[in-house]
Amino acid sequence: MIDVRNLRKEYGGFVAVEDSTFSVADGEVFGIIGPNGAGKTTTLKTLAGLLEPTAGSVEIDGRAADSRETRRLLGFLPEESPLYEEMTALSYLRFFADLYDVPRDVADERIADALEQLELDHRDRAIGDMSKGMKRKVAIARSLVNDPDVLVYDEPASGLDPLTTNYVIEFTKELAAEGRTVVFSAHNLYHVEEVCDRVAIMNEGRIVAQGPLEELRDQYGRTEYHVFTTVEVPGAVAEDGRYRQIVETMDGVERVREAARENGGKLDDLRTVEPTLEGLFLDIAESGGRDEERSADPTEV
């Protein structure tokens, strides 16, 4: 269990994160999204124990995030992850296993499993000779050498080609299926929708909304109905030999249907368009950043 309460982080008078509160259950995938400068990376680094809170608390399984015991149970993947490029993947991962005091036989088994899961065959190739995608896989494997219960990933698919990106996202799902807790940020909101159980939306250092995706859609999203008629009705636009009008309620659909009937036509098609996470993010970030945090999860404070 991750428990963050009233987190505040300042850098020389600049407030990067302000009064952030959220929790993450064991085995949950929790996404943190927001524009550049929203406070995502600062929050993740604080979770990983790399930054000390200015105020508030960050606990993982009841221990402070920066405690020695917590660090042994946690794997961290920063957005920029420089590697020792003269080393091979295998020697590099063994080096980090040694830092965690993992016995060599146990380390080799874990490394072999991670590299097999990640489909990284060139374990004896120098890291400097690897592609960016392969290097990212090595960095992910590094985050697993201590067999962590909690993983904190900052933009795990940043800068990767579509094929490798999809692989990293699928691998994140596999980690959650193993019972690990995953907290990550991503600019590509499609990835967040694919993986996350819940999300927090940050803006200007604050969490402005959080909760399960479906509840956020229900609370903040606008479902649109695209109504197609065989004849022109007020407010409709011509499209492929038909006329389309967008309304937000079923009453609006009925009004369009009646208008089409009065004009000698009929309703030809009806399509429901659900709000996307990107649309929710834009709406909430633009308005919520000036308001108190809104939560779609009644268990959240």
**pLDDT value for 165:** 83
Domains belonging to the chain, first-starting first, are 2-218+278-295 (3.40.50.300), 224-273 (no CATH)
Amino acid at 222: R
Q: What is the pTM of this model?
A: 0.77
Query: How many whole angstroms from its chain centre is CA 170?
Result: 13
- What is the full per-residue pLDDT of the chain (301 aa) written as tens digits? 899 999 999 998 899 999 999 999 999 999 998 888 889 999 999 999 999 999 999 999 999 998 988 988 899 999 888 899 999 999 999 999 999 999 999 999 999 988 888 888 788 899 999 988 889 999 999 999 999 999 999 988 877 888 888 888 888 888 888 899 999 998 778 778 888 999 999 988 999 889 998 888 777 777 889 999 999 999 999 998 999 999 988 999 999 999 999 999 999 999 988 777 777 777 776 665 444 444 444 333 3
φ and ψ at 35, to 5 degrees?
-70, 170
The per-residue pLDDT for 143 is 93
> Identity (one letter) of the amino acid at 187?
H
